[in-house]
Amino acid sequence: GSERTSPLLDGLNPEQREAVEYRGQALLIIAGAGSGKTSVLTRRVASLLETRDAWPSQILAITFTNKAAAEMRERVQAILGQGSEGMWISTFHSSCVRILRREAESVGLSKTFSIYDSADTKVTLKRIIKSLNADTLGFTPGNVSSKISKYKNELADADSYARNANMSDPQEVMFVEIFRQYTSRLRAASALDFDDLIGETVYLFRAFPKVAALYRRRFRHLLVDEYQDTNHAQYALIRELTRPVASELAEEMDRDGVHVRGLRDATGAIPGASLTVVGDSDQSIYAFRGADTRNISGFEQDFPGARVILLEQNYRSTQNILSAANAVIGHNFDRKEKKLWSAGGDGEKITGYTAYSGHDEAQFVSDEIEALHSAGMAYRDMAVFYRTNAQTRALEEILVRSATPYRVVGGTKFYERAEIKDALAYLISVANPVDELALRRILNTPKRGIGPATETAISSFADDNGLTFRQAMRNCSALGLGPKVTNAILQLSELLDSAALTLDPENPAGQSNVSEVLEFLLEGSGLLSVLRKSRDPQDEARAENIEELVAQTKDFNKENPDGGLVDFLTQVSLVAAADDLDDVSGTVSLMTLHTAKGLEYDAVFLTGVEEGLLPHQMSANEPGGPAEERRLFYVGITRARKRLYLSLAMTRAQFGDINVAMPSRYLQEIPAELIDWKQSPGMANSRGGTQPRALNARRDGFGGRSKEQAGLPPATPKPKTAWANTITGTVRDNGGLELAAGDRIRHHDFGEGRVNQVTGEGTKRIAHVQFDTSGAKKLLIKIAPIEKI
Ligand code: ATP
Ligand code: MG
């Protein structure tokens, strides 16, 4: 033990204290819910700084949400009473975006790359599936995107997938083709999806040792919260960041003027960074997104000599709540026994409530919230959890009626609203002109008479000529469209060009900030005025939303005086459900069980504890599904500090039907003496005070094992085309090539063909070519990769 009495060690138990003060290479803190894992990680960061064992810039702390990152940063600053500039505390995704924006060119990306959310991915996949007629084989954007995501989380790409697939199966061949096209479309658009953010960073480090060395040198201390929910790609990223820098490379860095001297050991190498991870395998709830608890169970093999610290005292909940949690999770097999205990006393019993309908359940929740509130509990200290978003409807209806202030966390999905996506697509089109998805979104929004046929014509014109969609728009007069349509396209194109110009630092008129660009685009496109003029009351709400976005850009300008358009777009892309939380607002929080991870409330209402919802019916056929659902239930229970309510409804309206629901099998696992059961007074044969009859007491036999991994090899560095060049890159100039009907030509991609007709004039001359094997194409002669033969 140390004799130092730094206030940041105040109140810690001996294990927590050891975790804060340990200074070895690798530290694993495994502990149950509420035992202070996150608190210890925060204090550890503060301690590293306080003892001068690290500079702020040498610390990389990974949290599960942006909100958690902000909280950790605030707490570290509060503990130290000073700023901590240069310290990276962020999610995996945010850290990777930061790295990738800096190193974009190495991986053939534009610095302004777009980030596709799941909706963008689905639109892209829908187009691919349609063009390949793959829907007839049962492919949907939904099932393809989750399959692609699963393999990307394993660091597999389309090629490595194909090597392991049974390519005599037409289903597999088609999937590989979709996967390939999806990859190439994203590249052409200089876009990355969420999984790519991690995968590309791993690729960057593996393919460019010098780049990797810079980050290995910089981050001397890595700390990761919620380690049980890391997937293989994230694990690989951590491995890459914690490798040593070999002495030759360190030597070279030294010669290049990178400061490494103080960091090198006796052999001249820079040793790997120290790594601290904290987690709880019992709270692993993201196996469906590739989370792998083997990252925890394998930690001591991965990092030999690692120190392991167990924390068993829970500081969050009463003993009754903990006993229930312990009993439930004890039903999962294949787990390390750990018993949580609390010094806080038994507390009140858990309240169980059997409602006759979802509405009745909502009424109960609302009444109890009001009762707690009257007894002095603040609304913000209460939360209502549910398994599926569909359950919010009944809850909201009743809460509105009883005038209870509430907020659906992550439910507003502001940035997913169509009108917001439209406005953002304008900004994206300016920031990243090769993003075809964004351009196609705004092409006829607001309506300017550009129909789907024209959209397709521009798109194939672009494909035929090796142009980006944007370049094709600029050259659309060559397409022979009507003058009105042509004008509309050119006007949009010019609007985007002018907007881009206002962002140019060299612009003599001064550089615009984000809100100015947005307002310029809204004005120029008429997006907002169309909504304002509309008689549709819905459009009024849409206009208000866009105004809210403008207000947000103004806040952004204030908070980030140096922030540019791309920074704003990045921030928007990375907003996650939990970031929506606002604990000063004095409202009850409603959220899904997944969103609740890591949080705590004085009173927790866990609703819909029914078969089919918890465990969710979708989990029934998944190996390990019911065990994962049990962990989700455990996460929910352990959020509660003082009061826990478990409720279920005997009937529930779903998709217009009334379903009869059975009590969840998990309820039986809680010792009866811990729960005080109540029943709806309106229920027939009411026999209050008994446990609901569990009609389905079957236990799943899958245990807590996570799904078998696909066993795919890690991605090896792959050559990438410098498609970033297409953004600003020059195109060839065939200006002088004379062509006439009857000529034969050779095209770089399409092979040989015959010119049927030449239309247009000057730089806009178009050859209508019938290729021998590639079909008919319209080529802009000026730029087409063709020669006369
Ligand atoms: P989870 O598994 O849910 O993420 P956790 O292990 O990260 O939980 P924390 O959120 O860090 O736990 O801590 C739970 C609560 O216990 C917090 O309110 C924290 O302030 C409090 N706490 C942690 N350690 C102590 C301590 N030594 N003394 C008093 N309170 C503590
Ligand atoms: Mg935590």
pLDDT tens-digit map of 324-340: 999 999 998 878 787 78
Alpha-carbon span 173 to 178, nearest angstrom: 9
Residue 11 Cβ inside 6 Å of ligand 1? The answer reads: yes
pLDDT surpassing 70 at residue 692: no
Question: Would you say the CB of residue 13 lies under 6 angstroms from ligand 1?
Answer: yes
- For this structure, is 668 an active site residue? no
What are 366-390's pLDDT values in tens digits?
999 999 999 999 999 999 999 998 8
Catalytic (active site) residue 225: yes
Closest approach atom of ligand 1 to CA 42: 11
pLDDT number for residue 695 = 32
pLDDT above 70: percentage of residues in the chain: 91
pLDDT in tens, 165-198: 998 999 999 999 999 999 999 999 999 999 999 9
Nearest 10 degrees: Cα torsion 357, 360, 362, 364: -140
Q: What is the pLDDT of residues 101-149, one digit of tens each?
A: 999 989 889 999 999 999 999 999 999 999 999 999 999 999 999 999 9
How far out from the chain centre does Cα 344 lie?
37
Higher pLDDT, 730 or 602: 602
Mean pLDDT, rounded, for 513-521:
95
Burial of 600 per CB tally in 10 Å (0-12, 13-18, 19+):
middle
Residue 67's SS3 state is helix
From start to end of 160-273, where are the E strands?
191-193, 221-224
Q: Looking at 285-289, 526-530, 531-535, which range is the least confident one?
A: 285-289
Whether the full predicted model's pTM is greater than 0.95, yes or no, is no
- What does the mean pLDDT of the chain come to? 87
| Known catalytic membership, residue 37 | yes
Of residues 154, 157, 225, 580, which has the active-site annotation? 225
Tell me which of 16, 316, 635 to substitute to probe ligand 1's pocket, judged by most ligand atoms within 8 Å of the beta carbon.
Answer: 316
Closest ligand 1 atom to residue 226 Cα is: 4
**Catalytically annotated residue among 639, 642, 643, 782:** 639
Query: What is the layout of strands, in order, in the sheet containing 221-224?
Result: 88-91, 59-63, 221-224, 274-279, 26-31, 307-311
**Catalytic site residue 201?**
no
What confidence score (pLDDT) does residue 655 get? 65
pLDDT in tens, 611-648: 999 999 888 777 788 889 999 999 999 999 999 999 99
All residues with CB under 5 Å from ion ligand 2: 37-38, 598
For residue 68, which ligand has an atom nearest its CA?
Answer: 2
- 341, containing H or E segment: strand 341-342
Instruction: Considering the candidates 283, 468, 592, 668, report the single residue annotated as catalytic.
Output: 283
Structure confidence at residue 18 (pLDDT): 97
Backbone φ and ψ of 731, nearest 5°: -105, 160
Tens of pLDDT, residues 36-82 = 999 999 999 999 999 999 999 999 999 988 888 888 999 898 888 87
- Does residue 16's CB lie within 6 angstroms of at least one atom of ligand 1? yes
Q: Which ligand 1 atom lies nearest to the CA of residue 639?
A: 3
- Mutation to probe ligand 1, out of 226, 309, 315, 641 (largest number of atoms < 8 A from CB): 315
Q: Does the structure's ipTM exceed the value 0.85? A: yes
How many angstroms is it from 78 CA to the middle of ligand 2? 19
Q: Is 122 a catalytic residue?
A: no
How far apart CA 233 and CA 222 sit, in angstroms, is 16
Q: Which helix (H) or strand (E) holds 679?
A: strand 675-679
Percent of the chain with pLDDT over 90: 64
Residue reference for tokens 């009173």:
603
Q: How far is CA 678 from CA 54, 323, 361, in A?
A: 55, 20, 11
Cβ–ligand 1 contact at 190 (below 6 Å): no
